[in-house]
């Protein structure tokens, strides 16, 4: 019988009491659970301790650096990285356990199933594949300011091991998040050369909608799928609109 490679689960937290229990329960098969907290004031750390996680506390350093600090604390080379509002499905666990008996790659992109306001997506809706299972000796978090993600210097393949994201439950919460993210992107690109912003503003929001609604089959999810695709389109509009607005403001004086 093949023995699975040792696996560390890594989770960063901040006031995630509402979702952390399900997250950590789905990771119970791992050889260790590493939780890096940013100073929660709710029951987050008590929940992590109840799952025998190895808990550390550090001030928040930014999304990417905080994740990297948590990864560095793992005791094993193989790392499964989840957010506190995500959890691995039973099917995903079985696939990962089989794969790590004889790994074919240095990193794996797993399909993330998104909560769509009031329902989980139709089974035929295509998940967004994200690199979440990897050898930490082969990579780590990149330096992208808003959407930092792991990168691996080695062979990376897709693995049909789904995990779920307990996302926004209300449209207003999603819109607030879009506004924050687009403003954060603007702040981190300040002073950098930006080309073809007007063209991107005109065409990319429509392409973003079509990619989700048609390409990933969000149309199978009724109004929930339409809302999700439309808000993604709005995010594309807002980030380029804010960039164009900033450029125009630099060219003129206010109230001329």
Alpha helix positions (H), 51-170 = 63-72, 90-99
**Residue 37 included in any domain:** yes
Q: In the predicted model, is pLDDT for residue 8 greater than 60?
A: yes
pLDDT of residue 146: 67
pLDDT of residue 96: 98
Same domain, 11 and 137: yes
Q: What is the mean pLDDT of residues 29-37?
A: 97
Per the structure block, which two tokens stand in for 7? 């696996």
Q: In the predicted model, is pLDDT for residue 184 greater than 80?
A: no
**Residue 243 included in any domain:** yes
Same domain, 28 and 146: yes
Domain boundary among 165, 189, 217: 165
Alpha helix positions (H), the chain = 17-25, 44-50, 63-72, 90-99, 171-188, 197-210, 222-251
Q: Is 161 helix (H, G, I), strand (E, B) or coil?
A: coil
The number of folded domains in the chain is 2
Range of the domain at 54: 7-165
pTM assigned to the model: 0.85
Domain boundary among 141, 165, 189: 165
Q: How far apart are CA 153 and CA 83, in angstroms?
A: 22
Q: Is 203 helix (H, G, I), strand (E, B) or coil?
A: helix
Q: What is the pLDDT of residues 215-244, one digit of tens each?
A: 999 999 999 999 999 999 999 999 889 988
Same domain, 118 and 184: no
Same domain, 146 and 26: yes
Mean model confidence pLDDT for the chain: 91
Q: What is the mean pLDDT of residues 100-116?
A: 96
Q: How far apart are CA 81 and CA 70, in angstroms?
A: 9
CATH number for the domain including 117? 3.90.550.10
**Residue 86 included in any domain:** yes
> Is the separation of the CB atoms in 92 and 171 below 8 Å?
no
Decide which of 167 and 159 is more confident: 159
**Residue 211 included in any domain:** yes
* Percent residues over pLDDT 90 in the chain: 75
pLDDT of residue 87: 97
pLDDT of residue 142: 87
**Residue 1 included in any domain:** no
Give the model's confidence band at 169: pLDDT under 50 very low, under 70 low, under 90 confident, else very high.
confident
Q: How far apart are CA 186 and CA 241, in angstroms?
A: 10
Pick from 107, 91, 102: nearest CA to 29: 91
Give the model's confidence band at 147: pLDDT under 50 very low, under 70 low, under 90 confident, else very high.
confident
**Parallel, antiparallel, or unpaired: how do β-strands 32-37 and 54-57 relate?**
parallel
Q: How far apart are CA 140 and CA 215, in angstroms?
A: 30
CA distances from 16 to 70, 118, 130, 223 (A): 16, 20, 21, 28
């Amino acid at each position: 019988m093949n023995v699975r490679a040792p696996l560390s689960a890594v989770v960063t937290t901040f006031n995630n009491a509402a979702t952390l229990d399900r997250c950590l329960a789905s990771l119970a098969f791992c050889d260790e659970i590493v939780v890096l907290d940013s100073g929660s004031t709710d029951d987050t750390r008590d929940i992590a301790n109840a799952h025998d996680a190895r808990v550390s506390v550090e001030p928040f350093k930014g999304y990417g650096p905080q994740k990297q600090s948590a990864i560095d604390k793992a005791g094993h080379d193989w790392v499964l990285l989840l957010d506190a509002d995500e959890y691995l499905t039973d099917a995903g666990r079985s696939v990962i356990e089989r794969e790590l008996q004889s790994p074919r790659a240095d990193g794996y992109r797993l399909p993330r199933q998104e909560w769509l306001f009031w329902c989980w997506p139709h089974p035929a809706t295509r998940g967004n594949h994200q690199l979440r299972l990897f050898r930490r000796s082969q990579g780590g978090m990149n330096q992208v300011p808003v959407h930092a993600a792991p990168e691996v210097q080695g062979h990376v393949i897709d693995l049909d091991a789904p995990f779920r994201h307990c996302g926004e439950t209300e449209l207003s919460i999603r819109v607030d998040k879009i506004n924050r993210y687009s403003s954060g992107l603007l702040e981190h690109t300040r002073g950098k050369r930006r080309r073809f912003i007007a063209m991107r503003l005109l065409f990319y929001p429509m392409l973003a909608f079509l990619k989700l609604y048609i390409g990933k089959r969000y149309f199978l999810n009724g109004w929930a799928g339409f809302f999700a695709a439309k808000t993604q389109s709005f995010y594309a509009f807002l980030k380029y609109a804010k960039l164009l607005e900033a450029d125009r403001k630099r060219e003129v004086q206010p109230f001329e």
